[in-house]
Each structure stands twice: as structure tokens, then as C-alpha cells.
Structure 1
Amino acid sequence: MARGIIISVKKKKYRTACADFLLVILVLCASLWLYTHPPVSSHTDVPFDYAQLPAWENDPVCVINDNIPYFTEEEKQAEEYERYGKLDSLGRCTAAQAMVGRDMMPQEERADISEIRPSGFIGAKYDDLIEDGFLYNRCHLIAFELTGENANAENLITGTRYLNTEGMLYYENLAASYIRRTGNHVLYRATPVFVSSDLVCRGVLLEAYSVEDDGGGISFCVFCYNVQPGIVIDYRTGASRRAS
């Protein structure tokens, strides 16, 4: 009888030890996943008040937070990754974030993305006002040249030609050129800023930070206006008209 009790106690201790060991493994795995996959903010989490921004005049961008990105120290320590926030209940993009390195950059040409229709995308042409006529582009939040992500609805917004070429392109090229030149990593985030239930964003918050040199090579935090000179946009629906 005593021997049976001893064996039973040993089995119980063994099961407890196994359970504790498995719990430790699960905690370590969860911690590792969070470390390598930091959360992506939604459009409601932008760390500034859009209402306080100056109205667009002539500059395609506005510097935010003294040009210092809002990344946490934890985000700066992660390995290479790319994450795209889920579309919200109105079908709008949220935020896209990546730790970009050379290995992530595409070697192939960009493919067709016309099957993607971002929220508020209404085809409109103004041949005498816009270089290629079309008001809207399917704008990548994180540029194709950085991550090779192409026909992904979670990475494409309705953006004006002006936003795409005059606002975002300069900063995308800046980050891409730095990565190619140095082989270092750039932490990059693009967050569309919507007002209320608008289907077209008012602009995009772009943040970038070069990791290996602590921001010495790349560090910016800018808001790119989603406007088009000479055009009035109804951000609620995506409809547009010529300015009077």
C-alpha cells in the first residue's frame, strides 16, 4: 500500500514538472513571436491630432514630431518582417509596417494590380490638370521597391497622383537607396489617416528609422497630403470635381 502511494506521488510530481516545463516553453514561444512580430497600429492609433495639422497649401508633406518617428525601442530590435493591418469594417486599410533589408527587396518587375479596388476608388480623369490624366492611383503603403508586396488589398489605398509622386515617392526612394547602398535595415511604417467614416484617407503618416546606425542614415516622420492641385475631393465617397 505504501509503495503504491509513493509511486502515485512520484507520478503526480512528474506530471506537474511536465506541465510546468510545457508552460515555460509556451511562454518562451509567445515571447519570441511577439519580439519578431511587433503589433501594427490601426489608423485610429496615429499619435498626433490630424485636426491640428495645417491645411495643405503648396508643400506635399508636413513634418510631424520634429521629424522623429514614433517607433518603440522594442520595435527597433526586431528581425526582418513585414506586416499589413487587416482592413477595417469599411474596407479601409489600416497600417503597414516592415523591417526592411536587402533580402526583402524584389528582383522581379511589378505585376498588374488593377484587380484591387481600394476603398473610395472612383475612376476620374483630368487630362489637362494631371500628367497621365488619372486622379487616383492604387498607392502602396509600403512601396513595392521595399518589400516586393504588390497586389495586396491590405497595402493599397486610394491615393492621388500628387500623393504618390510628389509626397511618398521621395521618401520611399530615400529608404530604398540607403538599404541598397549600406546593406543596413530600415524600420518603415505607413499609416493612412481617415476622418470619421471617410472612404478616402486625408493623407499618410510615413515613418522610417535606420537600425544599425541608430537613425544616422535614415530617420523621418512626415505626413503626406492626399490632395491634387486643381481638384476638390469628397473624402467621404471618393467623388471629385474641378476646383472653381
Structure 2
Amino acid sequence: MAKLNYSGQNEITVNHNNPEFSASDLSTAHGAWQTYGQLDSLNRVTAANALLNQSLMPTAKRAELTWDPTGWHNKKIKSGWLYNRSHLIGYQLTGQNNNPRNLMTGTRELNAPEMLAHEDDIAYYLKQNPHGYVRYRVTPIFRGNELLARGVQLEAQSIGSNEIHFNVYIFNVQSGVTLNYADGTSQIN
């Protein structure tokens, strides 16, 4: 996926929209859980995995974010701030906030509406199904040694149903801005 180039469509399906989880990946034997990969040698975020359930969802209001992920060169553009500190697994799903292993530099377009729409669907499903589970994996995709991810792959599968079922790639792009993926700097077009 690192070789994919943006061609005007913010989100594309991967593997015919089928997530690539094994049977053991979908096991609920140990209840809800979440894991975050170690930062790599360039301090970049790696994959985040979870078996989501209503029990992981936070009740407290989210605190302000202070961690600056790789490629963080934020600036104001016409529509607001260019970048968000994007949670790999959204705060509303696990309550993880200032966890450096769960935050990446993402454009506003990547974070909201694109990632947020999928997170909202999962959150709605979990609120409607208090004993339900959703297996979820978010993988940031970097090209070579670049510090700004080219995009993220999101895979989700509700356990026992296909109410939540997707495998998508979302490009880390922003309309009207050229991004330098090597370091996260940018130029307004």
C-alpha cells in the first residue's frame, strides 16, 4: 500500500472490503483488549489492534493532546489547522489519549470526516450491542523513511455478524495543500 498514489479518491477498499483477520484474531475468549505497537526506529507509530467492546469506551471527557508525532509541522490553512494528532484507535472507542503509540500526524481530511465516520459506526454498533465485540486494526502506512504516513488501513469485523465489516485505505491528504511526506512540512497550492 505504500506505493499507492492519491488520485482524487480519499478512501479506497482493500481486499474487496474484507478484513484479513484469522479465526484466532476474532476470538472473544479473553474479553475486550487493546494493544499498540512499539514506535519504530524513526519514532513512528506502528499498528494498533483491539477487540472492542462497550466496556473499553471512556466516560470521561477527552483531555487536550500534547504529544507531537513524527511529521508534526502544523499550520493554519483556510479551513483551520492542517493537521490533527490523529488517534489510530479513536478516543471514543478505548479512552486512549496521549499515548504516543496511538497518535500520528494526520490531515483534517484523513481524521474527520474519513476515519471518524468509521469510528462513529463502530461506536454506534457497540452502544446498541452492550455485549457485542468488534475486532479492529489500524495500520499507518509509511513509504521508506518518510515521517508523515501516506495513509492508514482500517480493518474491522463485528463478531457474530457482518454489521461492521470493512477493510479500507484512507489517504493522508488535504485539498489545496501539497504535503512533503519526508518531514511533514507543506505548501499551500
TM-score normalised over the length of structure 1: 0.74
- Pick aligned residue for 2:48 from 96, 99, 115: 96
Partners of 2:75 and 2:83 within 8 A in 1: yes
Tell me what 1:110 maps to.
Answer: 62
| Cα displacement (A) at 1:207 | 0.5
1:212 Cα offset (Å): 2.7
Which whole-Å CA distance do the structure 2 matches of 1:157 and 1:173 have between them? 19
- Amino acid in structure 1 at the alignment position of 2:23: E
- CA distance in 2 between counterparts of 1:191 and 1:158 reads 13
Q: 2:146 matched to which residue of 1?
A: 198
- 4+ runs deviating over 3 angstroms: none
If asked which structure has higher relative contact order (CA below 8 Å, sep 6+), I would say 2
**CA–CA distance in structure 1, aligned partners of residues 187 and 55 of structure 2:** 43
Aligned residues: 186
Q: Equivalences for 1:8-87 in 2 at 5 Å? A: 49-51=1-3, 53=4, 55-57=6-8, 59-78=9-28, 79-87=31-39
Partner of 1:111: helix, strand, or coil? coil
- Structure 1 residue 54 displacement after superposition: 5.4
The equivalent residue for 1:242 is: 188
Tell me which protein shows more helix as a share of its residues: 1
Equivalent runs, 1:179-190 vs 2, <5 Å? 179-183=126-130, 184-190=132-138
Q: 2:75 aligns to what?
A: 124
Which residue is equivalent to 2:114?
Answer: 167
> What runs of 5+ residues in structure 2 fail to find an aligned partner?
none
1:173 is aligned with what amino acid? D
Other structure's SS at 1:178 match: helix
Counterpart AA for 1:156? L
**CA offset digits 1:74-126 (Å, max 9, x no partner):** 1101431100000001000000010010111001100111x201001012111
Q: TM-score, normalised by structure 2?
A: 0.95
- Do the aligned partners of 1:100 and 1:146 also contact (CA within 8 Å) in 2? yes
CA distance in 2, matches of 1:118, 1:54: 23
**Given that residues 134 and 159 in structure 2 are in contact (C-alpha distance below 8 angstroms), is that contact kept between their aligned partners in structure 1?**
yes
**CA contact 2:40–2:46 (8 Å) conserved in 1:** yes
1:154 alignment partner in structure 2: 101
Aligned identity (percent) is 39
Aligned match of 1:229 in 154, 175, 183?
Answer: 175
Q: Contact 1:60 / 1:166 at 8 angstroms: preserved in 2?
A: no
- Deviation per CA, 1:169-207, whole angstroms, max 9, x where unpaired? 110001110011122100011100000000000000001
Counterpart secondary structure, 1:50: coil
Post-superposition shift, 1:149? Answer: 0.6
Q: Which has more strand, going by share of residues? A: 2
